[in-house]
């Protein structure tokens, strides 16, 4: 019974990855791609200071976005799971949180541009309130706008698994801790967070992998002034440098798999799937 699914994974996942790995060892010139077995793509990738900067930038985006989505996602999920008693209102509030995510990612991302622009709503409001004297340049086409867009696009991927895990927590455990004299922060730290670890890990995997593989958000929200690994791959493909793009993709894949492997060591995620 597993044969059809295994065949689909083989055709659409394993074989394409193998093809990318093979092409990553080919050699490319300005006008042609030569099937060969050379390591120059990986040598350039691992020794170039530009590539190192791009990878550091990618990790920076992933870490900051993860922290922001974790704080927002945990807060929203905690409120829905423990402060709204009726299941009906929990469902209603959860659906309200998910409504913005029913639109296109591109539309939600681009909608920040008129809000954060030099003459946008944010700057105009701050000037009218007397908070600032001139428009803030760093609101748009900066790392701030990139991370803001990332958080907006992917926060739901943190909310859903954490909320799902919190709903499985036996509320009698919280009541028992409260009867034993535990304070709110103690209950949160010693009861709720440990029991929510599977949801935290699932959300972390979703957010980190999505951010590290994204390229369009960085291109648009940074005004082409910044780059990450995804955009590096996109640029190589645009220049028909497929071996270089394949090598970068393989390194990115290995990096993401290592991160996922480290995260899976902290929790048995199979119990949640």
Q: Which fold has domain 3-271?
A: MetI-like fold (1.10.3720)
**165-200 confidence digits (pLDDT tens):** 988 888 888 888 888 888 888 888 888 998 898 899
Question: What pLDDT is attached to residue 255?
Answer: 92
pTM: 0.89
Counting other chains too, the contacts that 131-140 makes at CB distance below 8 Å and 24 or more residues apart are 140/112, 140/113, 140/116, 140/221, 140/223
252, 79 Cβ separation under 8 angstroms: no
Does position 95 have pLDDT exceeding 70, yes or no?
Answer: yes
Separation of alpha carbons 23 and 35, rounded Å: 8
Secondary structure of the chain in HEC code, one letter for each residue: CCHHHHHHHHHHHHHHHHHHHHHCCCEECCCCEECCCCCHHHHHHHHCHHHHHHHHHHHHHHHHHHHHHHHHHHHHHHHHHHCCCCHHHHHHHHHHHHHHHHCCHHHHHHCHHHHHCCCCHHHHHHHHCCCCCCCCHHHCCCHHHHHHHHHHHHCHHHHHHHHHHHHCCCHHHHHHHHHCCCCHHHHHHHHHHHHHHHHHHHHHHHHHHHHHHCCHHHHHHCCCCCCCHHHHHHHHHHCCCHHHHHHHHHHHHHHHHHHHHHHHCCCCHHHCC
**148-159 confidence digits (pLDDT tens):** 999 999 999 999
77, burial (CB in 10 Å: exposed 0-12, middle 13-18, buried 19+)? buried
Mean pLDDT across the stretch 246-253? 93
Mean pLDDT across the stretch 263-273? 71
Q: What is the CA angle 80-85-89, rounded to 5?
A: 65
Separation of alpha carbons 86 and 169, rounded Å: 16
Q: Where are the domains of the chain?
A: 3-271
User: Treating both helix axes as pointing N-terminal to C-terminal, what angle do 143-154 and 156-167 enclose, rounded to 10 degrees?
Assistant: 40
Question: What pLDDT is attached to residue 270?
Answer: 67
């Amino acid at each position: 019974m597993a044969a059809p699914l295994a065949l689909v994974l083989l055709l659409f996942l394993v074989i394409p990855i193998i093809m990318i790995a093979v092409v990553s060892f080919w050699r490319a010139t300005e006008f042609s791609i030569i099937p060969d077995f050379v390591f120059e793509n990986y040598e350039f990738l691992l020794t170039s200071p530009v590539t190192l900067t791009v990878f550091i930038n990618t990790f920076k985006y992933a870490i900051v976005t993860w922290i922001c989505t974790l704080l927002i996602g945990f807060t929203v999920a905690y409120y829905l799971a423990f402060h709204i008693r009726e299941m009906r209102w929990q469902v209603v509030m959860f659906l309200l949180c998910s409504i913005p995510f029913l639109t296109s990612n591109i539309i939600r991302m681009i909608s920040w541009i008129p809000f954060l622009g030099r003459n946008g709503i944010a700057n105009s409001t701050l000037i009218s309130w007397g908070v600032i004297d001139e428009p803030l340049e760093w609101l748009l086409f900066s790392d701030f706008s990139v991370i803001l867009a990332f958080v907006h696009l992917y926060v739901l991927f943190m909310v859903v698994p954490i909320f799902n895990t919190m709903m499985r927590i036996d509320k009698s455990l919280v009541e028992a801790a409260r009867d034993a004299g535990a304070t709110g922060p103690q209950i949160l730290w010693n009861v709720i967070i440990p029991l929510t670890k599977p949801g935290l890990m699932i959300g972390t995997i979703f957010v980190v992998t999505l951010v590290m593989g994204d390229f369009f958000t960085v291109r648009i929200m940074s005004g082409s002034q910044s780059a990450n690994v995804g955009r590096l791959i996109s640029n190589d493909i645009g220049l028909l440098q497929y071996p270089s793009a394949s090598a970068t993709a393989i390194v990115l894949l290995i990096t993401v798999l290592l991160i996922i492997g480290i995260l899976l060591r902290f929790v048995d995620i199979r119990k949640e799937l």
